[in-house]
């Protein structure tokens, strides 16, 4: 099965295509990057990580952050299962946080029901 690639790029009248793993990667990126309430077609779509103040992300309970991301993925990206989320801090050499990386792992099935492992990282900030 073919999926549309992101960003949408028109080449000779056709949109680029992606395989299943790329499609899941793009989808999770959209979920993580969307604040709930900003999509008019589904106000619940998105990830609660954006309900935190940026400065609070580093001091808040990482289990709450992981749970919020995992719940959003479970809800809006059903092709992925056995989802695990890790939050990693990205720091400058002076020890100041520059942002964070959300590492998502899980499994998905191909059209022939063969199970594959999934892993992707998303840098925020």
CATH classification for the domain delimited by 3-124, as one of 3.40.109.10, 1.10.10.1150, 3.40.50.150, 3.10.450.40: 3.10.450.40
The band of 98, judged by pLDDT with boundaries at 50, 70 and 90, is: low
Which pair of structure tokens corresponds to residue 98? 């520059």
Is the pTM higher than 0.85? The answer reads no
Report d(CA 104, CA 118) in Å as an integer. Answer: 8
Q: Which residue has the tokens 């309430």?
A: 37
> Taking each helix axis from N to C terminus, what angle separates 62-76 and 20-32, rounded to the nearest 10 degrees?
130
In Å, how far from its chain's centre is CA 45? Answer: 12
* In the chain, where the domains are located: 3-124
113-122 tens-digit pLDDT: 999 999 999 9
25-83 tens-digit pLDDT: 999 999 999 999 999 999 999 998 877 655 555 556 678 888 989 999 999 999 999 99
- Model pLDDT, residue 53: 58
């Amino acid at each position: 099965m073919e999926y549309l690639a992101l960003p949408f790029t028109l080449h000779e009248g056709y949109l680029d295509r992606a395989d299943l793993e790329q499609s899941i990667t793009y989808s999770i990126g959209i979920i993580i990057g969307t604040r709930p309430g900003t999509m008019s077609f589904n106000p619940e779509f998105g990830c609660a990580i954006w309900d935190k103040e940026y400065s609070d992300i580093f001091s808040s309970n990482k289990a709450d952050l992981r749970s919020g991301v995992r719940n959003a993925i479970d809800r809006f990206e059903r092709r992925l299962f056995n989802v695990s989320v890790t939050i990693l801090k990205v720091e400058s050499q002076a020890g100041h946080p520059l942002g964070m990386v959300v590492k998502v792992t899980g499994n998905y099935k191909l059209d022939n029901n063969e199970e594959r492992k999934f892993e992707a990282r998303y840098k925020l900030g």
